[in-house]
Structure 1
Amino acid sequence: MIKKWKKNSSKYLLENKIFKMREDSVTSPKLGTDHNVWVMEVPTWVNIIPITPQQEVVMVNQYRFGSEKASLEIPGGMADFGEDPKEAAIRELKEETGFEGNKVIEIGRVESNPAIMSNHTYTYLVLDCEKSSNQDLDGTEDIEIIFKKINEIPSLIKNREIEHALVISAFYFYNLYLQN
């Protein structure tokens, strides 16, 4: 059985509006040796699969600084401090796309990257999405809205047109939802 590692101390190395980088001194329960590990404290993330009455997914194509290229994704973002993930999903969908839906269903939750991150990503399915306003983007967002039929998604993943791991996991949750 894997035992919990003892945390001896923690210190913050970096803090910004997206995350805090923490260095922990820990002791291995198996070997008794001390090690430094690094953890990113990140707010809750949300991903939204918005589906229109025409059975199209409202997708976003946006530039990503990590990969230095455009990425075909579903709308998503960070929950504000203390914000309910469902409310964050509704807000992010409207900000990024200008769309709103009639029904919002939580269909999944994952640990974003438990090796180095402290947060979870929730996936919401939003049905009967219709355009209700203009996008409300921040200065680092440049988002193009693209519509894809839901049955096109598997080939977009297979052909590497969708590569974002959390987006792919969201569509996996969507398939599980359909099976129930």
Structure 2
Amino acid sequence: MEKKRDMAWKVLNRKIVFQDTWVQLEASSCELPAGRIIEPFYIHRDPNFAVVVAVTKDQRLVLVRQYRHGAEKVLVELPAGAIEKEEDPQAAAARELLEETGYRAGKLEFLMKTAPNAANSTAYAYCYLATDAEWAAKQHLDEMEDVTVEFMDLKDVRKALRDGVFEQAVHVAALYAALDILDGRNDG
């Protein structure tokens, strides 16, 4: 068997070149395995976040609709949000679901950890499946959030995915993973 070569870059130095409440941008000087130096290479030091595929007892998907300035339009999404420093990802998922939708999961299980933009962002998405979700409280939104709660019959989700209703890549991945699990339970 052929030995795998080391492809990792060596970071020679790094510095924060811009930081405010929402953004931390780092410039690195990196040496590639063949000796070539790349500088600056910019990295977004983004927080990890939690994404929740929440399904009610009557088999409806709990969704949120909100404006996303990066896409410059209103998107239909899964409940999601930043994981606070030192916060457990599963606790963050439960908190975000409750804050954004007012729903609480009967059961919350891990789906996956994925890097939405591994090329230049440090953020990971921790995705969860919330089953037997029930309304528990009114929304508790941050001052910058304007979120409406919507529902979709679970049987309609695959078609919505094919039709491009969901545009955020992590949300699409989480939905497919959740559907695989739910389909497996329904087959057995």
TM-score for the superposition, normalised by structure 1? 0.94
Residue among 29, 32, 35 paired with 2:36: 32
Contact map agreement 2:50 2:92 (CA 8 A) in 1: yes
Provide Cα deviations, 1:25-69, integer angstroms capped at 9, x if missing partner: 111212433432111111111100111000000000111111111
**Alpha-carbon separation, structure 1, partners of 2:138 and 2:107:** 20
Structure 1 outlier segments of 4+, above 4 Å: none
* One-letter amino acid matched to 2:54: P
Asked if 1:118 is matched to 2:122, the reply is yes
RMSD: 1.5
Query: What are the within-5 Å matches in structure 2 for residues 4-153 of structure 1?
Result: 4-153=8-157
**Alpha-carbon separation, structure 2, partners of 1:113 and 1:34:** 19
Alignment gaps of 5+ in structure 2: none
Contact map agreement 2:16 2:25 (CA 8 A) in 1: yes
Contact map agreement 1:52 1:129 (CA 8 A) in 2: yes
1:2 positional shift: 4.5
* One-letter amino acid matched to 1:166: V
Contact map agreement 1:19 1:43 (CA 8 A) in 2: no
Give the 3-state SS of the residue equivalent to 2:142 in structure 1.
coil
**Alpha-carbon separation, structure 1, partners of 2:38 and 2:21:** 31
**Alpha-carbon separation, structure 1, partners of 2:37 and 2:136:** 57
Give the 3-state SS of the residue equivalent to 1:96 in structure 2.
helix
Count of equivalent residues: 180
Contact map agreement 2:116 2:169 (CA 8 A) in 1: no
1:17 positional shift: 3.1
**Alpha-carbon separation, structure 2, partners of 1:71 and 1:38:** 28
**Alpha-carbon separation, structure 1, partners of 2:51 and 2:22:** 16
Corresponding residue of 1:156 = 160
Q: 1:115 to 1:34 in 2, by over 3 A?
A: closer
**Alpha-carbon separation, structure 2, partners of 1:149 and 1:90:** 21
Contact map agreement 1:45 1:77 (CA 8 A) in 2: yes
123-132 vs 14-23, which deviates more?
14-23
Q: 1:107 to 1:25 in 2, by over 3 A?
A: same
